Amino acid sequence: MTDNFDTLLFDLDGTLTDSTEGIVRCLEYALERMGFDIPEDTNKFLGPPLYRSFAEFCGMNEEQVNEAVRIFRERYSTVGLFENRVYEGVPEMLKRLRDGGKRIMVATSKPEVYAVRIFDRFGLSQFFEIVGGANINGTRNDKDEVIEYVLGKAGISDRSSVLMIGDRRQDVIGAHKTGLKCMGILWGFGSIEELTEAGADFIAETPIKAADMLLQ
């Protein structure tokens, strides 16, 4: 990499942790309670904001979406958020980046209160200067809104020194909308086709490779 990025914004789901089990179980719990069919492809729910996913993938109206999110969180807030695991190599990557002088932050469409609890549970909080996420009421859940929120909290004006790192097209699109470059990573939920079609500026296959590239 020829660019020198001092500040790194990480996505959470599919980038730092594999949250598949918790999200899918809570999705099934909510849809069964509401009498909706469970889609064959539940992976499409991994990454995008929950409100949008219920509307787009299940054809719900606003009232149904709000009820689905309420039921989803009924289980997620107590059990589902910890049905989760840190990807192999991620703690080592974060330590190398921190020791290399990088400012490390999080920009996730997951509600911020859940992200903080997940990092506390899995011992990752020590690495992050700022953890930014959506509001619990469903506002500030688009990736560009979260990025703007984090940059504002960090007092960053020079965006050329900031890189977004994530596994889905929403990360790339959100980064570009806010004037940032984006590294797409391949150990998460997104494919290389999805990331390259979205216009990812860099691609990293593993956490070790990502750290190598960012510390060059």
**Helix/strand/coil (H/E/C) assignment for every residue in the chain:** CCCCCCEEEECCECCCEECHHHHHHHHHHHHHHHCCCCCCCHHHHCCCCHHHHHHHHHCCCHHHHHHHHHHHHHHHCCCHHHCCEECCCHHHHHHHHHHCCCEEEEEEEEEHHHHHHHHHHHCCHHHCCEEEEECCCCCCCCHHHHHHHHHHHHCCCCHHHEEEEECCHHHHHHHHHCCCEEEEECCCCCCHHHHHHHCCCEEECCHHHHHHHHCC
Is 11 among the catalytic positions?
A: yes
Catalytic residue, chosen from 11, 18, 142, 171, is 11
- Which residues lie across from 166 on neighbouring strands? 184
Instruction: Report the distance separating Cα 134 and Cα 74, nearest Å.
Output: 17
Would you please indicate which residues are annotated as catalytic (active-site) residues?
Answer: 11
